[in-house]
Chain A
Amino acid sequence: MTDLLQLPFFKQMAQWRYGRLMLQIPFTLIALLLVYDGFTGSQTAPENLATVGVWVHYRGILILALFFIGNIFCMGCPFTLPRTLAKRLSKRGKRFPRILRHKGLAIFSLLLLFFLYEYLDMWASPALTAWVIVAYFVLSFALEALFTESAFCKYVCPLGTFNFVYSALSPAQISVKNRDVCRTCVGKECINGSYSPAPIIRLDSITINGEITQKEVIHRPQGTLGCGTELFAPQIKSNFDCTLCLDCVRACPHDNIGWMTRRFGRELSDASAWSKRWDISFLLIGLAFWGLLNAFGMIPPVYDLMQSLANGLGLPALGWSDSTIELVVLGMIFVVGGIILPIGVMVLAGFLTKISQPHPVETAYMPSTPKNEHNIRLIIGNFAPAFIPIGFGIWLAHYAFHFLSGVFTIIPTVQFFLLDHNITFLGNTPNWALGGVDFGVIGVVQLVALMGGFVWSMALVQTISLREFRRNAMLPTLIWGAVVLGLMLAAVWIFAFNDMEMRGSVLFH
């Protein structure tokens, strides 16, 4: 394992109190620029920085960065700046309500964002895109002002939730260098932070490899923040809930925390890395289905389905507007495809797995006690991480299409923006001929993304089955493999057998 923070420049940035800010400032300026152009610029989407920046480039770069580096977008997130402002403005508030301390709100906000994206045709509206950015700023500010912990990041933010899940594939993770140090650490500053009105010096007796050494720990009036999402560094086994803020690195008085390299997706096959909660399992599995749903919204059959649903329910005869009818039928598609289908499939697969076992399931993670033997929740929780690669492949295939087909369009869009302000140093006319990569190449990228995700997920299904059921792994492998195969076939049908149709208007008849 190599600590990336020991590399030149990274080390200084990580240790510097305002290192993260240096990454956030450019992101914030970009966000403000997108808001400005979204509200005041051309409302033709390909001519506006807000729509091109968010729906083409942000999404494309994000999905690639998640895989190759990790959750660096949360690290540079501009929405945490108003959060910091709110934190300083507010007094010590309450904790986020216990009843909401799960991923339910995040799942809801993610699904809501996907739904509104389709229903309001956000990709076609610079102003709406700008409103989304503004809403992010306002929400993150409000939640941080009201509650003490990073409630927005941990429980609400849809973008962060997406990043938390797919940064599981990345080859780096926050980790401690020597667990002995953490065992004898007195202050646990990585999670508690530190503050003292006047500088104080504490002497910690740290045991390393059986030897006790005295370590000087200084708490200063400037203070240091502990982990905002309340992850305890020595217990971190995954990238889930980690915003890569590096507060823990700065807070650790023993310089014992690093951003360590690892093999890609190591946590996927580590049973102890994932909570077996219903909400997290649904999130991991659901995101793969939502990837299909999102892509399905861009091919012609979705319009036929919406028309059929509308006719079947007799909606056109009611005299409703097309917009209202679309709201109803698209809502139905999202409820069925985004909630009922993934829940139904995962519960059915869990149930079939349960009855496929001749004996009570006895493993390290499913101890055979009367309470939880044959527990469907645990079975689903064990297999849920296997859906991350196939889900990632689906999202990558979709986002790569938009990103690669329009990768150079940001150039004429910037030129157009500058010319609209009489700035001509990038030319006197936008070069609208700049497009992107050939569609044939994009097709190959999509195929590699889908096949890679599929093979990886199938391998994980087999690994998890063998780990959990040993000699009886055949049926669980077939059951969960069939689900992954179904997702793959649906993705192939969407991407390979249908032409993308970038259409927002639906006229019901």
Chain B
Amino acid sequence: MRGDVSKRKICEWNHGAKGCFAYKIVLCAIFHLESDFIMQKILWLMIIALLVAGCRNSATQADNPAVRISIRTDPILPYVGDATVLVRLSRPPDNTPINDAQKIELKGDMTHAGMVPVFGETTASGIDGYYEIPLNFTMAGDWVISVTATLANGTVATYQASVAGVANVMPNFDVIEDCATPDDNSTETIPDCLLDMTEEPLRFEIMP
């Protein structure tokens, strides 16, 4: 008997009704149905969703090829508590240091949703392109560090890198490579000695 209830019907008001058609899709799907109508409206919804998504601020930001940002943490394998994030700004391809950034801001997020981020910033001038910013890792686990650098000319460059495996306690330093002097002339995005700590940059953007 239940199968008979699901008999196909034509949604008679589907073309004449006014208002939001998302609302109509749901109601039409449940109350009365014409499959072509539903598929057509679902396609329209998807197109609109894509258009809206394309207009998101985050989707319209362009890469800034004029600035290269890299980071490292001190200690290299950080643990819960205070740490220092060393941010280096330079101009590719020869990695000319940028020392006159107005402000550099850090936002540290845990990779798990629902955790409160931590923040750090500096307005001090850089030394050989390096800026030291204190950051407090509040919990063990994987973190994502977002760097927002406001340059002297007002442009903003951003960069994201993951810092994996922040430990609860100080890790065994026997396993740490000597990474005290990163190779600043490297043409790689991240110096080799930092690869254990930071993964490939997630994005490299500029905001108006």
Q: Which residues of A contact B (CB under 8 A)?
A: 18, 21, 25, 28, 36, 39-48, 51-52, 55-57, 81, 84-85, 87-92, 121, 123-124, 148, 192-195, 222-226, 300, 402-403, 405-406, 409, 419-422, 432-436, 499-505, 507, 509
Contact = CB atoms under 8 A, between A and B. Distances in A.
Contacts of B115: 46, 405-406, 409, 435, 502
B141 A503 contact: yes
18 contacts: A40-B59, A41-B58, A42-B58, A45-B109, A47-B109, A85-B38, A87-B6, A92-B4, A148-B3, A223-B5, A226-B1, A402-B114, A405-B115, A420-B56, A432-B117, A501-B140, A502-B140, A507-B165
Contact of A509 (B49, B116, B146, B175): B175
Contacts of A194: 1
Given A195-B5, A223-B4, A509-B175, A25 B26 contact: yes
Nearest to A421: B56
Interface residues of B, number: 48
Contacts of B80: 499
A38 B3 CA distance: 36
A52 B142 contact: no
Contact of A55 (B30, B112, B144): B112
> Interface of chain B, helix or strand or loop or mixed?
mixed
Given A46-B117, A55-B112, A503-B164, A193 B5 contact: yes
Interface of B: 1-6, 8, 26, 29-31, 33, 35, 38, 49, 52-53, 55-59, 80, 107, 109-117, 119, 139-142, 144, 146, 160, 162, 164-165, 168, 175, 196, 202
Given A52-B113, A421-B55, A505 B165 contact: yes
Given A46-B113, A56-B114, A85-B29, A432 B119 contact: yes
A405 B138 CA distance: 13
A124 B199 CA distance: 15
B3 A92 contact: yes
Residue with the greatest number of chain B CB neighbours at <10 A, chosen from A44, A48, A420: A44
Contacts of A56: 113-114
Given A87-B6, A89-B35, A45 B111 contact: yes
B46 to A, nearest CB: 10
Contact of B33 (A85, A403, A409): A85
